[in-house]
Amino acid sequence: MEMHRKKRIEILLEAPAQKRLTDLLDRLDVTGYTVSPVLGGKGHHGAWSREGLPSAAGAMVSVAIVVAEERIDEVLEPVFELVRRHIGIVTVSDVMVIRGDRF
Amino acid sequence: MKAARGQPDVAFPRPGSLPAAFFKEVTLSILDLAVQNLASPMVLFFALGVAAALIRSDLSVPEAAAKLLALYLMLAIGFKGGAEVSKSGLDPSMALTIGAGILLSFFIPLAGYFFIRMTTRLGAVDAAAVAAHYGSISIVTFVAATEIVRGLGLAYEGYLIAVAAVMETPAIVAALLLARRAAPKEQAGESMGTLLREVATNGSIVILVGAFFIGWITGERGMDMISPFIVDPFKGILCLFLLDMGLVAGRGLRQGARELSPALIAYGIYFPLVSAAFAAPVAVLLGLSVGGTALFITLAASASYIAVPAAMRLALPEANPAIYLTLSLGVTFPFNLSLGIPLYAALAQRIAG
């Protein structure tokens, strides 16, 4: 099967800033993104969990985007500028997709 | 510590003199109210939640159920307030009390910031974020206070619901101004207008104010229709909700306690009393009833832990959330629920009515 090389950006971000990020992605005209809730984990400040939080503060979400390799800088720079001040992790990986024209 | 020699004795009235008798009486009535309150199912369920979290029990209220309980409480309290206003009619004190609430919510963070910078080692941005929480209000503390006030056989002005709703946001403006003054470079970028619109239209405010207007419009007829839903089960549902709050506070304390210095913990207890001292004369000037005075003081003394933390993550992301969340939810909320509210009610009984 023919496969196409793309870049996948995953942003693990604190939940209150989620809308800021997805609004930015809309403005950048990315072809799509996926938002998932994150249950918990461990980082610089120890373990955390979304369980029983009364506020969106403290919860995290994961936002995944697949973009064409030539667009990576144009998407990554404004995304990182937004995420920089918040709690989060940005990772970029190489992925293969089947329907290359979609991204 | 030994008492300093030559201190004037006016500060320590002789036993039997008028001030001593007065203070004894006040202390007894506060103790009485506090004991009565501590032995109430609401406080005991909250304590059970804290204890369960501290012993690492797997007891939990599912997230969606907790949200539903909160919605129920906002709907019930909003509706009851609106129905009360429709019964008593509009009076000018409503507009005045709303105005006073807005001013208090704006000025308490300024005082809070000053106190926190004086008594703790917190930096400017963290201090501004904490100050925002203490200027804003906790609607759950307010709901618990209405039950305590009702338990004392006191009525209160229904429009205090509307006062609660408007007191949530001005504190955020004050805190952002403080933070921008202290660290102007870091605070650029986030638009205050967008942020305030998001806080002012958050779900709990919309349901609270919406239910208030529905209660106002439908009045006694509406109350008769839905009182089996919003009056009779109210206390039981509040207990279940407070159990969940106890679990959250206990977990928060377990994870966040190391972020809190003794000076910060002290702030979480004494600053609500400072806010109460600001609010008490205002309530008297407004001519609120005894119950209304107790609730108005409670609003000023409570600290937000739902709307403001989320707003602070956007507005002041450099501030450490473990500090303000743990302080507000783990220290001030339990203090207000157990001792603070009875204290404010006792104070209201002395100064109002």
Residue B197, pLDDT score: 82
Q: What is the ipTM of this complex?
A: 0.80
Is residue A87 in a domain? yes
Residue A25 inside a domain? The answer is: yes
B227-258 b/e with 16+ CB inside 10 Å = b? beebeeebeebbbbbbbbbbbbbbbbbebbee
- Pair B103, B256: CB distance under 8 Å: no
B34 close to B339: Cβ distance less than 8 angstroms: yes
Residue A16 maps to a domain? yes
Pick the residue from chain B with its C-alpha nearest to A47. B255
Rounded Cα gap, residues A85 and A56, in angstroms: 17
**Considering only CA atoms, which of B78, B83, B81 is closest in space to residue B219?**
B83
How many C-alpha atoms does A18 have within 13 Å on its Cβ side? 20
Residue numbers of the domain that contains A42: 4-96
Q: Which two tokens stand for residue B351?
A: 């100064």
Residue B261 to residue B252: CA distance in whole angstroms? 15
Q: Which of residues 40-99 of B touch A (CB under 8 A)?
A: 60-61, 63, 66
- pLDDT tens-digit series, residues B232-253: 899 999 999 999 999 989 988 8
Domain assignment of residue A82, yes or no: yes
State yes or no: pLDDT of B1 exceeds 50. Answer: no
Structure token pair of residue B108: 């308490």
Chain pair A-B, CB pairs under 8 angstroms:
58
- Asked if residue A65 is part of any domain, the answer here is yes
Q: Render A14-64 in DSSP notation, one character per residue.
A: EGGGHHHHHHHHHHTT-S--EEEE--EEEETTEEEE-TT-SSSTT-EEEEE
- For residue A59, the number of C-alpha atoms closer than 13 Å in the C-beta half-sphere is 19
What is the pLDDT confidence band of residue B22, given thresholds at 50, 70 and 90? low
Tell me if A48 is assigned to some domain: yes
Number of domains forming the structure of chain A: 1
pTM value? 0.86
With a cut of 60, say whether residue B66 has pLDDT above it: yes
Looking at the predicted structure, is the pLDDT value of residue B184 above 70?
no
Task: Name the strand (E) or helix (H) holding B315.
Answer: helix B307-315
Residue A81 lies in a domain: yes
Over A80-92, what HEC string results?
A: HHHHCCCCEEEEE
Instruction: Indicate yes or no: CB of A52 within 8 angstroms of CB of B325.
Output: no
In a domain, A103, yes or no: no
User: Which CATH number do you get for residue A60?
Assistant: 3.30.70.120
Cβ distance A95 to A7 under 8 Å?
yes
For B110, counting Cβ atoms within 10 Å of its Cβ (0-12 exposed, 13-18 middle, 19+ buried), the class is middle
Q: For chain B, give the mean pLDDT.
A: 88
- Partner-chain contact A52 B251, CB within 8 Å: yes
Using the structure block, give the residue that is written with the tokens 């408007």: B166
Mean pLDDT confidence for B23-27: 71
| Residue from A13, A14, A53, A86 to probe the interface with B (highest B Cβ count within 10 Å) | A53
Percentage of chain B beyond pLDDT 70 is: 91
Distance from CA of A21 to the nearest CA of B (A): 12
Q: How far apart are CA A55 and CA B126, in angstroms?
A: 18
Each residue's pLDDT tens digit, B293-329: 999 999 999 999 888 888 888 888 889 888 998 999 9
| Residue B313 with chain A: CB contacts under 8 Å | 14, 16-17, 56-57, 86-87
More confident: B13 or B164: B164
Q: For chain B, how many residues are written?
A: 353
State the smallest CA–CA distance between residue A57 and chain B in angstroms. 5
- Model confidence band, residue B13 (pLDDT cutoffs 50, 70, 90): very low
